[in-house]
Every structure is written in C-alpha cells, then in structure tokens.
Structure 1
C-alpha cells in the first residue's frame, strides 16, 4: 500500500468532494486526512486529500481524469514520502530559518534545503545549522532590485526548488517575482503585522500591553506539503 497527497482547485460547485471521495473508494483508496476551503471572494474551491492506495496508481489517475474534465479540476498528486526541494530567503533575523532547518534535521519536515538566499552577508546570521547548505549573498537597493531578483530566479531554476520560503525576508517582492513564484511560495511573518503597521510591530505591541505573540504563515498559493493552498493564514501562539 502506498500513500499519496492530492491537492486540487476549481470553480466552486456542488459535488466535488463526493466525486473525489467516490473515485478514491472505487479504486481502493482510503482517505486518512481531508481538508477543503471555499474562497467566497474568488468563487474558487481548494481541497487537500491524503490517502492510502492498494491498487495501481494509473487506475486511479485514469478515473480522476474523468472528474478533472467534469469539474475543470487543476490537480497535483505526489507520494507522501517524496522530499520537497526548498529554497529559504532570509534577512538579518534568522530564528524562523533556524526552526525550519532544525525540523528538517530531525526529520519532522520532509524537505531538502537546496539553498539560502539573503540580502545580507552570512556573518549577519548567528545560526550554525546551515552546515553545507549553499549560501547566496545578494545585496539589494532600490536601484538594483530587478537585478537582485533576477539572481534569485536563477537560483530557483538551477536548484530545482519547488517551494520558496520567505523566512523573515524583509523585502517586498516585485510583481514580476511574485508571478514567477506563483504556486510555490510561502511567507512567514510576525502575527502583529496586520494590527501594527510600519516598523517594529513587536515594539508597538509591547507599548500597547499585548501579552500574546505568535507567527502567521501567509500562503502565496502554496505550503510545504502541497503546491496549492487550502487556506489563507495559519496562526500559532508562542
């Protein structure tokens, strides 16, 4: 028995969940986890299904092809154990990157970090978890932003990175780079960002007497497990 993750999106309409579940059941698939999200602003439907399959994968994909035509599904299917190639972008604050690398090291996150890109020198970071991961120092100014982002694109293409994580990368991506990374980028930022605009949101929150802090992961239509998101934001207190 093999385990897989299926993610899909399409225009929202009745019957999508039933169709996918029926297709899995018909071909001996056992759903072990399922999530769905309806985006009322765009009218789009998103779904993520983790399942175990006893029969041949080709039989299931052939059956799924019928549902793809019926509902206009955009689907991505991968083995659960398939390691995802990840590129991390970071500035001076390296605690988010350190957490990712630690979880990768202990096997909690099934990923391979193929590189780290920073707009500051390696000496600006304090962590020792980088080991033999290639480090790219790409300084940026307002005038050199297009050239710097072009270098990031090159790293993505050369490393085969499937997902780019902005781990406290304190730069606003251009429309061009955002479009290039569509479907394969996630941004980790402090949870105060929506409530305290401008610089030093933590300082602003402290002055206001806020007692709880956390982090928000904002999806650019992607997450670590899947090439399409099933939600918009996740928040966790620390």
Structure 2
C-alpha cells in the first residue's frame, strides 16, 4: 500500500513540475508519442517533458530544428492519427497554423495560409487546384477533388479546351496542349494550364499538323492539302492577265 501511495505521489510531482511519465529511450533527444502525431517528448538527462506542437503542425522525428514541428504534408504520421483539439478561430483557419482549402468545396483554386490563426488568401495559377494532401497547387486530375470543376474559358470563336488533355506515350499530361482549329487549317489553339485557350496561326503557306503538333506543309496534312489552292489560282490569273497585256 505504501508503494502504491509513493508511486501516486511521484506521478503527481512529475505532472506538477511538467515532467512526463514517458520513459526516454535515450538520455537526450526528442521522441514521438505513439498515438498523437502533434505530441512529443523532450528528454534531457533521462528526464522527459511532454510537448505539443503549435496547433496545426505535427512532430517531425527527423527534424534538426529547436522546435521539431512541421506541416502535416511534410511528415509521415503513420498510425499516429490523433491530434490536439483545434484552436482555429474561423472556417478559413480551422487550426491556428497550416494551409487550408477554401471552406466552399466548389472553390478549388483559392486556399489560405494560416499563421497563429491569421489567414492570408492565395490563388492558384490558372488551371490548377489546391491539394491539401500535398500543400500545393496541382493539376486537377491528381488532386482527387471531384466536387469542383475547372472554370470554363473560350475564345471569340467559341472554342473551349477539353476537360481532360491528351497524354503522351508515357502517360504524362501536357501542361499546355495544342488543338487544331476545326474550321481553319492554318490556325490552332494552345490551352494554357489546360484550360485557357489562346488562338495561334501558322505562317503563310503552312497548316497545322495535329499529329506533329506543329505547323507543316499542306501536302503532309491530307485534309488541308488544298488549303492554299486559291493562291495558285490568283497567281495563274495574274500571269494570264499580264500575257493579255
């Protein structure tokens, strides 16, 4: 009974002094909690103290920083999925620190960087969506955000970039794909970031080849081989007129 009482008293003393009941595997260093990813233990001379990362950050066991905490997308928490109670002041900052998507799930190109509960708004480049799992803006097809759709952009002629761009032989997406103008052999469109179309034209005498993705001679594009036939007609007419004179 006396041993139990002494043990209880020791625990109370340790808690009152900020010390932990955690047993340090080494005399000095930082060590992760087995359950909670943003909790760790600071061991000094074999004595451990409980520590919590700033709300929104998690413990990085490989960090060399004085405060060994980092953003969740930079740390592998494994099965240590528990976190401290959120202290975020608003929907923009559900936790005091971190990067967070817009609270409206249909708005994918805007996100917020939160530091001590203060939010700063950022906008992804055209055609990109914010990916909370990686903490950066990314291509829509790799963000797994199915609740939002890309903004529609179109040229004066009504051309819109296809929702999913073409892939190369290695399965990689072209960030700025090109498409032939269905109504004009000498014109084509470049889709900046996959969604913003820009109308382009080939030099006189050339047409766009959708297989090589560049301007080419008409004879190499069967459906456009006669595109410049009117120039030959004009040349012949002009020559005949000169002969008549």
Q: For the superposition of Structure 1 and Structure 2, which TM-score range results when normalised by the shorter chain? A: under 0.3
Structure with the higher strand share, 1 or 2: 1
Structure showing greater relative contact order (alpha-carbon pairs closer than 8 Å, 6 or more residues apart): 1
Structure with the higher helix share, 1 or 2: 1
TM-score, with structure 1 as normaliser: 0.20
Give the greater-gyration-radius structure (CA).
Answer: 2
